[in-house]
Structure 1
Amino acid sequence: MTTTEVRAPLVARTVPYLPLGLIAALGATLAYLVRLPCRTGGWNDQVQTYTNFCYTDIFPLYFDRQLATQNPYFADVPFDKQVEYPVVLGEVMQVIAWIARKLEFDQVAQAVRFYDITVVLLGICLVAGVLLMAAVAGPARRWDALWYAISPAVILAAYINWDLVAGALSMGMLLAWARRRQVLAGVLLGLAIATKFYPLMFLGALFLLTLRTARWRPFLVSAASAAGAWLVVNVPFMIFAWDGWRRFYVFSQERGIDWGSPWLFFQRKGWGILGEGDVSTMGMVALAALCLGIAVLALTAPRRPRLAQICFLALAAFMMTNKVWSPQFVLWLVPFAVLARPRWKPLVLWQLAEVWYFAAIWLYLLSQPPLSRNDLGIEDDTYFTAVWGRVITIAIMMAFVVRDILRPERDVVRQDGVDDQAGGVFDDAPDRFVLTTR
């Protein structure tokens, strides 16, 4: 066998990843250009920030969370000045702040440097997430990862917050599970949960498919590894910086209704108990009801659902019932929506809704106090068309995924001759427990 013959299969395997990585890097660059007007001074003027659609949490939190001077988890600062994120993300912020302080003396220059370094990290996470998603999708559907690489909603939302870090860890977890490396999958899942809380929903998806297939050992190994990884990064802060550590959990519990949530519509319209009740409780009840429906679906479907389908449904349920639905939350859902159902028409419809919401939230904030620029902003009714646009388009995608689960012959992924490209031990596994109805 010649050297050329040896290299040919390797080239065939790696060629799709090179253009995908380059396109993801292009997406990361475009996301940087979107916020370039603010980087040159716009963040100091809220009107300019909103009219240029270039807001980010990264720059202001450098000052507001004491990153300019100390580690906020250990600092003796007011509770509302502590970092309201889980510890992995908080320490990523702290390390980047330490580098920025070494490079610049002026605090404003430090904040800009903090933003630039953070963007580099997030861009790397986007490229990594795209490549990992392509690997999960399998040879027949690698190009589906383009939706994550360069879709408009991803470009617009990429650098609002640090969500791409959790996205890369989540895609790494899914690939490790698909390759049947349960310990690695669990470790990455634990770290993802310690970065952003939403990956906890994936543990429930694994549990449901484990219940149906009775493949308990891989699930228990991954769950134990996730718990171990989470404890390793959290326990030191729980011991030595209890107030700083619990800030995220207290903030999540006490936080009121915020932008993007359908609950805000009910509150503004005064819709009885939906607008005046305890939103934390109502949100949990609504999420529990949706998760129960997903569980019944997973255990009664004529064929075992794919892991990506259950992950998508669980994550969408979590987002739709939450008290807050920030523009960057689209980054959570894109890869799982595409893996669950890579049909372009509903995805395009959803992307249009996300782009409209991205524009609407900043225009709406212009008309709200303290700015109250009604000449530049939009009012409630216009803004809530964007809120419900997201809800409705995601509900449509969820309905299609449910239909694919109930009628697996309609599942475009399975039409390619695979059972579950991300399923790992679930792939081609026989049913052991199925709920039946008369």
Structure 2
Amino acid sequence: MRPSPASPTLEDPAVARLSEVLGGPGGLHARGRWWTPLLVGCLLAGLLVVLGAGLRAGCSTDGWTANSPDFAPGCFSALPHAYVAGGGAEGVWPYGERVGDPSATPPAGEAPARYAVEGTQALAGATYLHAALASLVAPGPDVREERAGLPVADLYRDPDVRAEAAATILGAAVLVGLAAMLLVLVVARVRPLRAWDGSLVAGSPLLAVAALVDVGLVGVAFAAGAVLAVRRGKALAAGLMLGAAVTLTWAAWLVLAGLLVALAARALARDAAARLPGADPLTLVLVTALTWLAVSLPAIVTGAGVWRAGWRAALDDAAGTGSVRWVGTAAGGGGLPAYPLVALVVLALWIAAVAVLAFRAPRPPRPEQVVLLVVAAGAVLFAAGPADALVVLPFAVLARPRLEPLLGWQAVELAHAAVLWWTTTGALASGSATNDAPLAALTLLRVVALLVLAGWVVRDVAMPSRDPVGEERQLTSVRSNDVAV
């Protein structure tokens, strides 16, 4: 008997309860000919990204400058800031000679650097996209030349520059909206009989709140596509997508680590049917590395020093507000210089523990389960803002497509984002004194929510019979079969 498509109202009690307002659980004739779950999900994801752009429309008058409320709830986006801070307002190549350390004394005969290197410049793909969006709205050569003679601080106050910076949000909305639709498509295609799982991504409020914080969702879509390619045994395609993803979001390296653990567990499986034929780990690693190098090559060739400085800035950056490191720094009253090294050691030990779990599990875990466990650990150790939750979202849906745990985790993420922005803008301050306690509490609660989500997946791996998606479990229809007697 051919397995029938899954119906979320029949297998997820939470969805069944919510469906009562729309007529109750789906029946035998609930499927339309063209109004499919996949189409609905893609449209919904695009609409949420557009909603996110609309939420930021009223913020353009403040220019998103460093001295204005660019972190205001619903407003924050790194894109307008990058338009000025990255030199887009005057057409500067982000790895050119005008980028460096403005406070350093330049060599004899050379002009001082105008723009400081930021940690995001280690992500070459994201930096290229920033420059591309800037080129869409930047003025002509005459205006750019005139701006080159002004202090950078004055550019932030220029009304024309503010309008151009705001316009980058519209260009990003198109790009990120397409990426959101691609992400829904990928999640739906991982398990074709569970196309409704894509709707759990498409309906996430995180898309409206965080998708336009930066262009990282493009990398998330590529990383999820790599998981789909690995499941289909296409290591070359997976490497190409993952190599592009690691130039757009840091977490893609964690996706690679999770895939390697999953492939190793499948290769060591006693049951040959449980292996993933054709998904060669060596090919995956080599293609990923070569693709990353190819994408990064323009940055390396045109500004190797700036590119290296970007890596140093990313590794040595101070604790991001709202991160676990920030909580430790605030509680200790000082810096935590050894935190990056300690966090990497903890992450390596966690990946080793996940590998042991995968190798000793009764049945090799699904790749997305392993990836979720690794990515969640990275989010606990390094994530700070709501944009980092978008990396967890598709793999959480693929690993455990149940509405209640997903809603609980996302509710905590949204509360953390709101308190983060209120804290940054001083809305929670009492007089001249800052009030970091609510954000510290929400940060710890966010860690608990991620660990609980990971705990569900650990239980599913250790007890495959409890896995709602089980690899060997057939989805059956409530419709009876004809029986010949």
Q: Do the structures match in fold with TM over 0.5?
A: yes
CA distance in 1, matches of 2:396, 2:51: 22
**Is the 8 Å Cα contact of residues 103 and 110 (structure 1) preserved in structure 2?**
no
* Aligned residue in 2 for 1:363: 422
Task: Give the residue type in structure 2 aligned to 1:25.
Answer: G
Q: Say if 2:258 is the partner of 1:258.
A: no
SS at match of 1:43: coil
Q: Deviations over 1:12-32 (max 9, x none)?
A: 698332211111122112211
CA distance in 2, matches of 1:211, 1:74: 42
What is the count of residue pairs matched by the alignment?
Answer: 402
In the TM superposition, what is the alpha-carbon distance from 1:180 to its structure 2 partner? 2.4
In the TM superposition, what is the alpha-carbon distance from 1:415 to its structure 2 partner? 7.7
**Is the 8 Å Cα contact of residues 223 and 245 (structure 2) preserved in structure 1?**
yes
In the TM superposition, what is the alpha-carbon distance from 1:128 to its structure 2 partner? 1.4
* Aligned residue in 2 for 1:343: 402
When the two chains are superposed, the root-mean-square deviation of aligned CA atoms in Å is 2.7
Q: Considering fraction of residues, name the structure with more helix.
A: 1
* Aligned residue in 1 for 2:221: 168
In the TM superposition, what is the alpha-carbon distance from 1:245 to its structure 2 partner? 1.8
In the TM superposition, what is the alpha-carbon distance from 1:113 to its structure 2 partner? 2.1
Q: Say if 2:128 is the partner of 1:88.
A: no
**Is the 8 Å Cα contact of residues 49 and 208 (structure 2) preserved in structure 1?**
yes
* Aligned residue in 1 for 2:136: 99
CA distance in 2, matches of 1:14, 1:187: 32
In the TM superposition, what is the alpha-carbon distance from 1:209 to its structure 2 partner? 2.6
SS at match of 2:280: helix
**Is the 8 Å Cα contact of residues 324 and 444 (structure 2) preserved in structure 1?**
yes
* Aligned residue in 1 for 2:451: 395
In the TM superposition, what is the alpha-carbon distance from 1:164 to its structure 2 partner? 0.9
Larger-gyration structure (1/2): 2
Task: Give the residue type in structure 1 aligned to 2:424.
Answer: L
The 5 Å alignment of 1:177-192 reads 177-192=230-245
CA 1:382–1:108: 2 relative to 1, 3 Å: closer
CA distance in 2, matches of 1:94, 1:276: 33
CA distance in 2, matches of 1:232, 1:51: 37
CA 1:123–1:166: 2 relative to 1, 3 Å: same
Structure 2: stretches of 5+ with no match in the other structure: 1-31, 102-114, 144-159, 268-276, 476-485
Q: Say if 2:48 is the partner of 1:27.
A: yes
SS at match of 2:88: coil
CA 1:407–1:191: 2 relative to 1, 3 Å: same
- Structure 1 range deviating more: 50-59 or 285-294: 50-59
CA 1:293–1:88: 2 relative to 1, 3 Å: same
SS at match of 1:414: coil
SS at match of 2:64: helix
**Is the 8 Å Cα contact of residues 26 and 150 (structure 1) preserved in structure 2?**
no
CA distance in 1, matches of 2:414, 2:67: 20
In the TM superposition, what is the alpha-carbon distance from 1:356 to its structure 2 partner? 0.5
CA 1:50–1:192: 2 relative to 1, 3 Å: closer
In the TM superposition, what is the alpha-carbon distance from 1:103 to its structure 2 partner? 8.1
In the TM superposition, what is the alpha-carbon distance from 1:412 to its structure 2 partner? 0.1
* Aligned residue in 2 for 1:224: 286
**Is the 8 Å Cα contact of residues 210 and 216 (structure 1) preserved in structure 2?**
no
TM-score by length of 2: 0.76
Q: Deviations over 1:71-97 (max 9, x none)?
A: 111232234623523111111111221
Aligned counterpart for 1:126 among listed residues 180, 183, 189? 180
CA distance in 1, matches of 2:343, 2:293: 27
SS at match of 2:96: coil
Q: Say if 2:329 is the partner of 1:329.
A: no
CA distance in 2, matches of 1:418, 1:384: 44
Task: Give the residue type in structure 2 aligned to 1:404.
Answer: D
* Aligned residue in 2 for 1:55: 76
Structure 1: stretches of 5+ with no match in the other structure: 1-10, 420-438
CA 1:21–1:217: 2 relative to 1, 3 Å: closer
In the TM superposition, what is the alpha-carbon distance from 1:381 to its structure 2 partner? 1.6
